[in-house]
Amino acid sequence: MRVRKSLPKKKATLEDVARAAGVGPMTVSRTINGHPYVATETAKRVLAAVRQLGYRPNHAARVLTGQLSKTIGLIVPDLADSFFSIVSHAVQEAAREAGYIAWLAASNGDPSIEEAQIEEMTHHPVDGILLVPANSQSKYLKAVVSGSTPLVTIDRPIDGVLTDSVEVENRAGARIAVEHLIGHGYKKIACVVMNSHLQPVKQRIAGYEECLRHANLSRRKVVLSDQNAQEVLSKLFASPDRPDALFTANNSSTICVIKTLRSLKIKVPRDVALIGFDDVDFYTLLNPPVTTIRQPAVELGRTSTRLLLQKIKSMPSTSSARTVLPVTLMIRESCGCKQEVTT
Amino acid sequence: MRVRKSLPKKKATLEDVARAAGVGPMTVSRTINGHPYVATETAKRVLAAVRQLGYRPNHAARVLTGQLSKTIGLIVPDLADSFFSIVSHAVQEAAREAGYIAWLAASNGDPSIEEAQIEEMTHHPVDGILLVPANSQSKYLKAVVSGSTPLVTIDRPIDGVLTDSVEVENRAGARIAVEHLIGHGYKKIACVVMNSHLQPVKQRIAGYEECLRHANLSRRKVVLSDQNAQEVLSKLFASPDRPDALFTANNSSTICVIKTLRSLKIKVPRDVALIGFDDVDFYTLLNPPVTTIRQPAVELGRTSTRLLLQKIKSMPSTSSARTVLPVTLMIRESCGCKQEVTT
DNA sequence: CTGAAAGCGCTTACAG
DNA sequence: CTGAAAGCGCTTACAG
């Protein structure tokens, strides 16, 4: 813990330090920035003065002279969402460890808010932006990609342009889930989705279909909204070929389905099995505990931050790449597996 | 959506605009900042030039001349925590609406990280800081409060100094919870806590004790950790006067208790009733749904942001105040209440 | 209503 | 190894 006699009214400037150390401003600047060619003796005097005055370089002045701002922007649809909040926390941490500040913004999934945030960030300026695009088709985003601010997308790519992106194995993950259901002997596996316009969800659907086609089983995609869930699912389960298993392709659909099945008195996994994509801690507390595909949220945050920071250092000669992170099947009970009650 | 022919390599400066508009730099500055005394005709020309050049004021330059940075810092223990992530989202939103940037940082509950973050923020500088203190007793924090950066604490006060703080009715909320349990006829109500060093938790315990003292019932405080939960609770329920109801004073203890009771085959509410402090969406999905005291997380974020922004505007003549937000009893089934299954 | 001057605190060349 | 000069892009007084 630093001790300070009294909080100085005016913050010390580089010149103050120079005067106190009896050197020129440049020597202070060089010392602080770890430049070579500073006599060890001089450096000591400067450092002493810095400590004594509690000097901290003025950020604005540095930026004004063309230095990096050491700030990255992160834009997610919703900071309160469990998945994005984990990603955000990881980004914040990785940024801090690298001496970077994280400017966090939420778009609420609104492309116009997203655009305004990006405009602000690029002009502020930040050194780079981490983005979970609200709309993959956005023309504006395409233009940003070819702009001068390094950008890395998280979870979702931008259509039609080559960007650095960090995603998860959506397609393969869906296949793993569906294969597991097939392994249980289920024949009528339906895929339930909300927000089916999102890239990752589309990929999960593709994985689902691919897998069933392979197994020669019939496919059935059910698009849900919070409003029509009751009606759609009750119809689905009243139909002659009602499904014996469900693959819910994202968190919101998993929750919606669980709620609705309960009110319809359809028991999981007795009446229908269930595997969801995207894991949430609370799923272990549900009855039955929900089997899911877990996404590496922390890794997503750390990896994308690292990538962006690299890109910032090596601009503009960098080529873009897609990084795909593996997912894990978390076997619990909603899929039909039994599980011992262990502590 | 703004259209740009080509992304200009160099950003336009105020002087560029002045030249394009055929006026002096000051006139541009005044126009942009909405000062009076600019001829409407001139203003029009300036604005046209601004638009045409895609001019955006340079933030660093403004800050360097002593303007507000229009940035506030928010430090929470954990961005991934459901409660703090909701608060953070609200802060971010309220800040954006006011034209402010939110610099989000997580302390991980570590006072030394917290201190480093605050130092960085104050020197950056930010115009103000929103803080969920990791350690209420910190000497460092006390010093910060008397510093020149406006500070508002969220959820937890700083001991021994007068700060602006926005909290919730911890004490009264606990009383409401315990009174509800008493209303059910329970006589042996234990209070289970984790992290009992935190101010809000202490207040909840105080409310619990106050209420039971009033009702002339015996008190019993149980301090839990994830490691000893199994042992402590099994002992508790093996004892002759085992509790017939539990008040879990925070989210982590609620979850830990629910998990442990399950593995001990103790049914809620049949064998023991339960009310938790701090509500989480998922509690509605548990069996039984958990009755809780809900904290107004969004309001906490919005109110504290508003307060901080006010303080920034009116510094330094402001007096400090504690704002206490009301909580709500969310009656579900773990307390012993029956509930119709409604959609 | 408008503008030229000076300065915010730093850093990048340029000279020693 | 060290320093004086100029400038980053804006704004605050100060003059008209």
Distance from CA of B199 to the nearest CA of A (A): 23
Interface contact flag, B92 A104, Cβ < 8 Å: yes
Given pLDDT bands bounded at 50, 70 and 90, which one contains residue A13?
confident
Protein residue closest via CA to C1' of C6: B65
Same domain, A237 and A320: no
Same domain, A178 and A285: yes
Instruction: Compute CA distances A73 → A34, A120, A261, B77, B276, whole Å.
Output: 27, 10, 40, 20, 37
- Contact pairs from chain A to chain B, CB under 8 Å: 138
Averaged pLDDT, A58-81: 92
Interface contact flag, B64 A64, Cβ < 8 Å: yes
SS3 A308: helix
B228 touches chain A (CB under 8 A): no
Same domain, A86 and A28: no
pLDDT of residue A185: 95
Distance from CA of A175 to the nearest CA of B (A): 27
Q: Over 80: is that where the pLDDT of B36 sits?
A: no
Q: For B232-305, where are the E strands, in sequence order?
A: 245-248, 273-277, 291-294
Distance from CA of B287 to the nearest CA of A (A): 7
Of A1, A108, A255, which has the smallest distance from its Cβ to B140's Cβ? Answer: A1
Entry pTM: 0.92
Given pLDDT bands bounded at 50, 70 and 90, which one contains residue A35?
confident
Q: For A237-319, where are the E strands, in sequence order?
A: 245-248, 273-277, 291-294
pLDDT of residue A316: 59
Question: Which positions in strand C are less than 7 Å from the protein's CB atoms?
Answer: 1-5, 7-13
- Round to whole Å and give the CA distance between B273 and B250: 16
- Round to whole Å and give the CA distance between A202 and A208: 10
B93 touches chain A (CB under 8 A): yes
Averaged pLDDT, A258-263: 94
Interface contact flag, B80 A89, Cβ < 8 Å: yes
pLDDT of residue A186: 96
Instruction: Compute CA distances A195 → A248, B171, B304, whole Å.
Output: 12, 41, 33
Interface contact flag, B139 A1, Cβ < 8 Å: yes
**DSSP secondary structure letters along B165-226:** EEEE-HHHHHHHHHHHHHHTT---EEEEESSTTSHHHHHHHHHHHHHHHHHT----EEE--T
Query: Which contacts qualify for A261-270: CB closer than 8 Å, 24 or more apart?
Result: A261/A233, A262/B341, A263/A230, A263/B341, A263/B343, A264/A230, A264/A233, A264/A234, A264/A237, A266/A237, A268/A334, A269/A333, A269/A334, A269/A335, A269/A336
pLDDT of residue A81: 95
Same domain, A255 and A208: yes
Residue B330 maps to a domain: no
Residue A50 maps to a domain: yes
Protein residue closest via CA to C1' of C11: A65
Q: Which residue of A13, A89, A122 to mutate against B (max B Cβ within 10 Å)?
A: A89
Is the separation of the CB atoms in A331 and A276 below 8 Å? no
- Which of A16-20, B160-164, B308-312 is most confident? B308-312
Would you tell me how many other CB atoms lie within 10 Å of the CB of residue A317?
5
- Round to whole Å and give the CA distance between B34 and B56: 15
Same domain, A124 and A174: no
Name the more confident of A343 and B161: B161
Averaged pLDDT, B15-36: 85
Given pLDDT bands bounded at 50, 70 and 90, which one contains residue A49?
confident
- Round to whole Å and give the CA distance between A51 and A75: 37
Q: Over 90: is that where the pLDDT of A29 sits?
A: no
| Partners of residue A285 in chain B, C-beta under 8 Å | 255, 258-259, 282, 286
Domain count along chain B: 3
- Round to whole Å and give the CA distance between B44 and B21: 9
Same domain, B180 and B290: yes
Same domain, B160 and B307: yes
Q: Over 50: is that where the pLDDT of B1 sits?
A: no
Q: Over 50: is that where the pLDDT of A97 sits?
A: yes
Task: Report the amino acid identity of residue A73.
Answer: G
pLDDT of residue B5: 36
B66 touches strand C (CB under 7 A): yes
Alpha helices in B73-135 (DSSP H): 82-97, 111-123
Q: Over 60: is that where the pLDDT of A342 sits?
A: no
What's the DSSP call for residue B73? E
The C-alpha angle B254, B280, A291, rounded to 5 degrees, equals: 85
Averaged pLDDT, A95-114: 94
Instruction: Please write the tens of the pLDDT for every residue from A121-147.
Output: 988 889 999 999 998 889 999 998 888
**Nearest Cα residue to A287 out of A333, A244, A249, A248:** A333
Q: Over 80: is that where the pLDDT of A247 sits?
A: yes
> How would you write A194-212 as a 3-class SS string?
CCCCCHHHHHHHHHHHHHH
Q: Which residue of B has its CA nearest to A261?
A: B343
Tell me the CATH number at A40.
1.10.260.40
pLDDT of residue B317: 53
Residue B341 maps to a domain: no
Same domain, A154 and A174: no
pLDDT of residue A234: 94
Protein residue closest via CA to C1' of C4: B24
pLDDT of residue B47: 87
pLDDT of residue B9: 53
Protein footprint of strand D, defined by Cβ closer than 7 Å to any strand atom: A 23-27, 30, 36-43, 61, 64-66; B 10-11, 13-15, 25-26, 29, 32-33, 55-58, 61-62, 64-67
Q: Residue holding tokens 């076997």?
A: A331
Q: Which residue of A has its CA nearest to B138?
A: A1
DSSP 3-state percent helix, strand, coil across chain A (nearest 5): 45, 15, 40
pLDDT of residue A315: 61
Contacts of residue A76, defined as CB under 8 A and 6 or more positions apart, other chains included, come to A84, A87, A88, A104, A105, A106, A107, A132, A154
Residue A64 maps to a domain: no
Is the separation of the CB atoms in B189 and B217 below 8 Å? yes
Residue B65 maps to a domain: no
Tell me the CATH number at B238.
3.40.50.2300
Averaged pLDDT, A46-60: 87
- Round to whole Å and give the CA distance between A335 and B240: 41
Averaged pLDDT, A220-224: 94
Q: Over 50: is that where the pLDDT of A3 sits?
A: no
Average predicted confidence (pLDDT) for chain A:
90
Same domain, A157 and A175: no
What phi, psi does B247 have (nearest 5°)?
Answer: -115, 110
Query: What share of chain B in percent tops pLDDT 70?
Result: 94
Is the separation of the CB atoms in A324 and A331 below 8 Å? no
What phi, psi does A106 have (nearest 5°)?
Answer: -115, 135
B51 touches chain A (CB under 8 A): no
Of the listed ranges A234-238, A252-256, B55-59, the least confidently predicted one is B55-59
Q: How far is CA A141 from the centre of its chain?
A: 17
Is the separation of the CB atoms in B170 and B205 below 8 Å? no
**Nearest Cα residue to B181 out of B146, B157, B207:** B207
Given pLDDT bands bounded at 50, 70 and 90, which one contains residue A30?
confident
Helix (H) or strand (E) holding A168: strand A164-168
Same domain, A287 and A181: yes
B82 touches chain A (CB under 8 A): yes
Interface contact flag, A230 B343, Cβ < 8 Å: yes
Would you tell me how many other CB atoms lie within 10 Å of the CB of residue B331?
15
Same domain, B101 and B157: yes
Q: Quick one: tokens of A155?
A: 């979870």
Q: Which residue of A72, A79, A123, A256 to mutate against B (max B Cβ within 10 Å)?
A: A79
Of the listed ranges A170-174, B5-9, B23-27, the least confidently predicted one is B5-9
* Beta-bridge partner residues of B168: B325
Instruction: Please write the tens of the pLDDT for every residue from A310-341.
Output: 999 886 556 778 999 999 999 999 999 986 54
Q: A251-263 vs A229-238: helix axis angle to the nearest 10? A: 70
pLDDT of residue A18: 86
Of the listed ranges A35-39, A246-250, B40-44, B71-75, the least confidently predicted one is A35-39
Is the separation of the CB atoms in A141 and A153 below 8 Å? no
Is the separation of the CB atoms in B261 and B321 below 8 Å? no
Q: Quick one: tokens of A34?
A: 């770890």
Given pLDDT bands bounded at 50, 70 and 90, which one contains residue B18?
confident
Residue range of the domain that includes A36: 14-57
Q: Over 50: is that where the pLDDT of A300 sits?
A: yes
- Round to whole Å and give the CA distance between B302 and B270: 40
Residue A333 maps to a domain: no
pLDDT of residue A26: 86
pLDDT of residue B342: 46
* Beta-bridge partner residues of B327: none
Is the separation of the CB atoms in B205 and B196 below 8 Å? yes
Interface contact flag, A86 B102, Cβ < 8 Å: no
Of B4, B59, B230, which has the smallest distance from its Cβ to A343's Cβ? Answer: B230
Residue A241 maps to a domain: yes
Residue B64 maps to a domain: no
Same domain, A249 and A205: yes
Q: Over 80: is that where the pLDDT of A190 sits?
A: yes
Distance from CA of B52 to the nearest CA of A (A): 16
